[in-house]
Amino acid sequence: MKREPIAIINAIMTAVQASIPLLVAFGLVQLSREQSGAITSAVVAWAGLVGTVVTRNLVTPVADPKNDDGTKLIPEHGKSSTPTGP
């Protein structure tokens, strides 16, 4: 999950979104067109919200990358990240 969180979450949300009309089309769930449309719209909206909130905590921001300990991954201005030899 930590390697590709956005791809995994988007795949799950897409599967849920695709399942609703499929269940209605095969008569496994009895919904009116309005109900089906409302549910599908809500799933799309919630998927975007949940995907954003969840993945935000699982990815490293490019503007301020840090490791799990909170240490900056980019050296401070003027300091070299390569060790100097003798």
**What are the sequence ranges of the domains in the chain?**
5-56
Q: For residue range 64-73, list pLDDT tens digits in order.
A: 778 878 888 8
Q: For residue range 12-39, list pLDDT tens digits in order.
A: 888 988 898 899 889 999 988 899 889 8
Residue 38 has what pLDDT?
Answer: 92
Q: DSSP characters for the chain?
A: --SSHHHHHHHHHHHHHHHHHHHHHTTSS---HHHHHHHHHHHHHHHHHHHHHHHHTTS--SSS-B-TTS-BSSPPTT--SSPP--
